[in-house]
Every structure is written in structure tokens, then in C-alpha cells.
Amino acid sequence: DPDRWPVAVYSRMNHEWSVYPCGMAEFLLKLVRNEWHPGPISDTSLEGVVDPRFLHDKDEAAAYEAGLDPWEY
């Protein structure tokens, strides 16, 4: 059952694996909600995001092309 598989994250900086005892969907949800302490990835761009959401690259590009900032609405 893939929903029961844990998530493994490799740290290039420390050259080691960390295992998170949840499925990928739960892992990603906790990632965008900043619920992992310390964070499992080196990217800090999600920190402080109040309203996390998914935006496809094509939708983001279309909004910018229309003169809108897709992250402001």
C-alpha cells in the first residue's frame, strides 16, 4: 500500500538520509505548512507563507503574461 510507505529525503549537505513516517501527500502538506522542525529540505522559500497553494507553471506564466502577479490573488 503506497500510502503506508515512508518518505526518505537525502541531504546533500550532510550526505545522509532522513526517513519521515508518513505518506508523500502528508509529507508535502506538512512541508508547505512548515510543520517539520527542522525543515527536511534546504530551500527556505516556503517559510512564512501564510496561504500555501499549488500553482502549475503554465498558470503562473499565463498570469504574468496577462500582467498579473499570480501569487497576489
Comparing 71 with 17, which gets the higher pLDDT?
Answer: 17
Question: How many CB atoms within 10 Å of residue 57?
Answer: 7
pLDDT digits (tens, 9 = 90+) for 1-56: 777 889 999 988 889 999 999 999 899 989 888 888 888 888 877 777 777 778 89
| pLDDT of 73 | 67
Tell me whether the omega of the peptide bond preceding residue 21 falls within 30 degrees of 0, making it cis: no
Rounded Cα distance, 50 and 22, in Å: 23
- Hey, what's the cell of 50? 501564510
Residue 62 has pLDDT above 90, yes or no: yes
